[in-house]
Amino acid sequence: MDTVVRSPSPADLARGLAALRSWQRDDALVQLHPGDLGWAWRQGADAVARAVRIWEVDGQIVAFGFLDGPTTLRMTVAPERWTDPDLARALAADASDPGTGVLPSGPASIEVPDGTALRGALHAAGWGAGESWTPLSLDLAAPIGVHGSSLHVEIVHGADTSDFTAVHRSAWDNGSFTDERWRAMSAGAPFAEARCLLGRDDAGEPVAGITVWSAGRGRPGLIEPLGVHAAHRGAGHGTAICVAGAALLRETGASTAWVCTPSDLDSAVATYRAAGFTRLPERLDCVRQA
């Protein structure tokens, strides 16, 4: 089996996104999602394309990788090929060889779904266990319960995004998410099926925000990210905006809402559980030391 790995041009990125979108299934839950690329689109389409790696066999896309930083690769495989040992060995070899352009030499980490042969192939190639992540999911078959908070929720539109971006900057103590970055993100292809929600308290103050990404009707949707303004924590606003985001995903036809957070962020895990999400087994990154 001959695999070919390459970075797509911005024009060819749409084909890769279509494949990634079609791979979202409830029986292949918690894998790289179009929303992950959508959130990264705030850096622009060219930056996203440079960070993508696509593997093909006979012209068919069989695996997809996204560099979430210079040494962190988030990967997934076409669900029908999850247990293919030959493909897994080829992918692991490419990821391990700096000459392929997938990852540079030195320390690196790879996020890969549990249940794939790729995880075992990486371990066989010398990759060890790394950071622990906690996935959580919510079945959207039934209506979403109403949260007791008095949070007032609105959909964010491009005409006025300043309150939403300000909440995000405060929540993550990071000044990089500006209105300009929001406009770049919202211009990306994945945002066609995404929404940003802003929550205000009874005084009208912006206190919480969430972005939800759909992959189409009958497919799992992603929360990425959720944040509460630093001055308004501890009032249940995170749980309330999470419930609102899940309800919106259900309205768009998503089958499941899911999110993945570092396991040591106890407050984040507690927020999602309070919103009705079920904690799934922890997942460990695969890492390569120097």
> Could you tell me the pLDDT band of residue 9, with boundaries at 50, 70 and 90?
confident
Instruction: Tell me: pLDDT of 248 over 90.
Output: yes
Least confident of 71-75, 144-148, 177-181, 231-235: 144-148
Element (H, E) at 138: strand 128-139
In the predicted structure, residue 215 carries a pLDDT above the cut 90: yes
- Whether 11 shows a pLDDT value over 90: the answer reads no
pLDDT level of residue 12 (50, 70, 90 thresholds): confident
- Please calculate the CA angle 168-23-70 and round it to the nearest 5 degrees: 50
Residue 38 has pLDDT above 90, yes or no: yes
Contact 288, 107 (CB under 8 A): yes
How large is the average pLDDT for residues 179-198? 97
Over 80: is that where the pLDDT of 148 sits? Answer: no
Q: Select from 190, 222, 208, 219 the least CA-distant residue to 17.
A: 190
Amino acid at 216: G
Q: What is the mean pLDDT of the chain?
A: 96
Q: How confident is the model at residue 290 (pLDDT cuts 50, 70, 90)?
A: confident
Sole residue written with tokens 């896309």 = 61
Q: Which residue has the tokens 């990125």?
A: 13
Q: What is the pLDDT of residues 80-97, one digit of tens each?
A: 999 999 999 999 999 999
Predicted confidence at residue 150, as pLDDT, reads 85
Please check whether residue 24 is in contact with residue 33, taking contact to mean a CB–CB distance below 8 angstroms. Answer: yes
When pLDDT is cut at 50, 70 and 90, the band that residue 147 belongs to is: confident
Q: What is the pLDDT of residue 187?
A: 97
% pLDDT > 90, the chain: 94
CA quadruple 28, 31, 34, 38: dihedral, nearest 10: 160
Q: Is the pLDDT reported for residue 146 higher than 80?
A: no
Inform me whether the pLDDT recorded for 198 exceeds 90: yes
What are 66's strand-pairing partners? 52, 74
pLDDT at 167 over 80: yes
Helices 266-274 and 237-251, axial angle in degrees (round to 10): 50
| Mean pLDDT on 249-264 | 97
Out of 48-52, 145-149, 203-207, pick the least confident: 145-149
pLDDT of residue 280: 97
Q: Is residue 202's pLDDT more than 80?
A: yes
Q: Phi, psi at residue 89, to the nearest 5°?
A: -65, -40
How many Cβ atoms are within 10 Å of 33's Cβ, its own excluded?
27
Cα(220)–Cα(250) distance, integer angstroms: 10
Statement: residue 16 has pLDDT above 80? yes
Residue entry with tokens 């109403």: 146
Average pLDDT over residues 245-274: 97
